[in-house]
Amino acid sequence: MTYTVENINFKSVPEIKKCLSYFKTENLYNVEASDFERFIDDLINNKSIDFGKKEKFDSQINQNLHMLDFYWGHDHDFGSFSVNGLMGTRHIWLLSRFLDSFYLDKRKLINSNDILDVGCWTGGVSLVLSQLANKANITSIDEIYKYTYALDFLANSFNVKNIKADNTSLYDIRVRDKFDIVFLLGVLYHISDPIIGLRRIFNSMKPGGVLCLESMSVNSSKRIWEYEGPSVRNGIFGWNWFIPSPKALEQVLYDTGFVDVKVGNGLQDLKVTNDIDPLGPNRVFAFALKDGNHQICKAGLSVDIT
Ligand SMILES: C[S@@+](CC[C@H](N)C(=O)[O-])C[C@H]1O[C@@H](n2cnc3c(N)ncnc32)[C@H](O)[C@@H]1O
């Protein structure tokens, strides 16, 4: 079965956009609109702030472009000015897909106490969550310091108290049994060690917590994981590319402790769409439950992730 854009139910999009519309310069707190705009402009143009020592590398050779320069993440209309991000409006479509077509219960979202956004970039998804799930504390982590710095600046500028932006790698998540919902969007295929990463996430979740995951995917019905390695050429994302097929993703989620795993194209289980839609082809969605603290098989794992 194939899908076209018309088949996708976008009913949450207006509400998601309403959440984002809070972040307009008219709602700034303790900062002038012109100073705010200049600050964002300086970030985007890599002016005035030297993030070098804050990013965790010794030499620039072979490092991710994002360790070196600043790139805004998601499109945002601040009212008096707009910024375009490398990820466009994907934060809107992604959340709408999970809410409207792929298992995320809005009641669970709005009744959550703690939500984790892993790989938040400059915070497109986190900003929406801070308003939509306004009773929850949103922990937004990214391995790139400058992106959590930017999100922290946004949260402070709009006096948003329920976002905690933290420059932490997902491998360093050490809290246990805390999060009701974890979003892992556009991150899994960039990390070197998916089992370790997913297990750290699993451990951080409450029993009864759910994982919403979106990834690039290999369009294969086999259980395979394609490794392209990091791209380091100028102008190309310098991230690692390590891409699962839907079935490999399903397997790794069960193996890291999750149950009731659903994997699909965001509309239907275990289908990968090649149709043109706002997210592009070969994206895979997964939704998984942590029902309790299960031990996992440690064969071949030399890291303590029990
Ligand atoms: C392609 S972007 C996705 C951004 C956003 N989540 C979205 O879906 O639009 C991947 C993000 O994950 C971050 N990231 C990559 N590896 C990470 C890690 N090990 N721990 C935390 N963040 C990581 C990157 O810095 C980047 O901001």
pLDDT, position 193? 96
Quote the crossing angle between the two packed helices 124-132 and 145-157, to the nearest 10°.
Answer: 40
Q: Which two three-digit tokens encode residue 171?
A: 């491998």
pLDDT, position 239? 87
**Rounded-to-integer distance, Cα 42 and Cα 52, Å:** 15
pLDDT, position 2? 42
Kindly state whether residue 300 falls inside one of the protein's structural domains.
Answer: no
Could you tell me what percentage of the chain is helix, strand and coil, using 3-state DSSP and rounding each to the nearest 5? 35, 20, 45
Kindly state whether residue 14 falls inside one of the protein's structural domains.
Answer: yes
Confidence of residue 1 (pLDDT cuts 50, 70, 90): very low
Bridging pattern class, strands 114-118 and 179-185: parallel
- Residue whose CA lies nearest to ligand 1 atom number 3: 186
Ligand 1: nearest atom to the Cα of 119? 12
Confidence of residue 59 (pLDDT cuts 50, 70, 90): confident
Q: Which residues line ligand 1 (CB under 6 A)?
A: 66, 73, 87, 90-91, 118-119, 121, 124-125, 141-144, 147, 169-171, 185-187, 190-191
**Which of the listed residues 71, 142, 217 should we mutate to test ligand 1's pocket, taking the one with most ligand atoms within 8 A of CB?**
142
- Residue whose CA lies nearest to ligand 1 atom number 14: 119
Q: Which two three-digit tokens encode residue 225?
A: 């994981």
Ligand 1: nearest atom to the Cα of 169? 20
Q: What is the pLDDT of residues 101-158, one digit of tens each?
A: 999 999 999 999 999 999 999 999 999 999 999 999 999 999 999 999 999 999 999 9
Contact (CB, 8 A) for 209 and 237: no
CA of 242 to the centre of ligand 1 (A): 14
CA of 1 to the centre of ligand 1 (A): 31
Quickly list DSSP for 11-53: TTHHHHHHHHHT-SGGG--SS-HHHHHHHHHHHHTT-S---GG
Contact (CB, 8 A) for 179 and 137: no
Q: What is the pLDDT of residues 159-209, one digit of tens each?
A: 999 999 999 999 999 999 999 999 999 999 999 999 999 999 999 999 999
Ligand 1: nearest atom to the Cα of 117? 6
CA of 301 to the centre of ligand 1 (A): 24
Kindly state whether residue 144 falls inside one of the protein's structural domains.
Answer: yes
Please report which helix (H) or strand (E) contains residue 68, including its range: helix 65-68
Ligand 1: nearest atom to the Cα of 87? 9
Kindly state whether residue 303 falls inside one of the protein's structural domains.
Answer: no
Q: What is the pLDDT of residues 245-281, one digit of tens each?
A: 999 999 999 999 999 999 998 888 877 666 666 777 7
CA of 118 to the centre of ligand 1 (A): 7
Kindly state whether residue 141 falls inside one of the protein's structural domains.
Answer: yes
CA of 188 to the centre of ligand 1 (A): 8
Q: Structural domain tally of the chain?
A: 1
Ligand 1: nearest atom to the Cα of 91? 9
**Which of the listed residues 66, 96, 122, 190 should we mutate to test ligand 1's pocket, taking the one with most ligand atoms within 8 A of CB?**
190
Torsion angle in degrees (nearest 10) through CA of 115, 120, 125, 128? 70
CATH number at residue 192: 3.40.50.150
Give the single-character DSSP code of 290.
Answer: -
Kindly state whether residue 295 falls inside one of the protein's structural domains.
Answer: no
**Is a pLDDT exceeding 50 seen at residue 4?**
no
Q: What are phi and psi of 46, to 5 degrees?
A: 55, 40
CA of 194 to the centre of ligand 1 (A): 13
Specify whether the backbone of 270 is left (phi greater than 0), alpha (psi in -120 to 50) or beta. left
In 3D space, the residue among 183, 70, 163 whose CA is nearest the CA of residue 118 turns out to be 183
Q: What is the 3-state secondary structure (H, E, C) of 168-229?
A: CCHHHCCCCCCEEEEEEECCHHHCCCHHHHHHHHHHHEEEEEEEEEEEECCCCCCCCEEEEE
Kindly state whether residue 294 falls inside one of the protein's structural domains.
Answer: no
Q: Which two three-digit tokens encode residue 164?
A: 């905690």
Q: Which two three-digit tokens encode residue 142?
A: 């990214």
In 3D space, the residue among 127, 154, 163 whose CA is nearest the CA of residue 39 turns out to be 154
C-alpha distances (whole Å) from 223 to each of 176, 244, 282 are 30, 8, 15
Confidence of residue 306 (pLDDT cuts 50, 70, 90): confident
Q: What range defines the domain where residue 176 resides? A: 5-289
Kindly state whether residue 297 falls inside one of the protein's structural domains.
Answer: no
Q: What is the pLDDT of residues 37-51, one digit of tens each?
A: 999 999 999 887 888
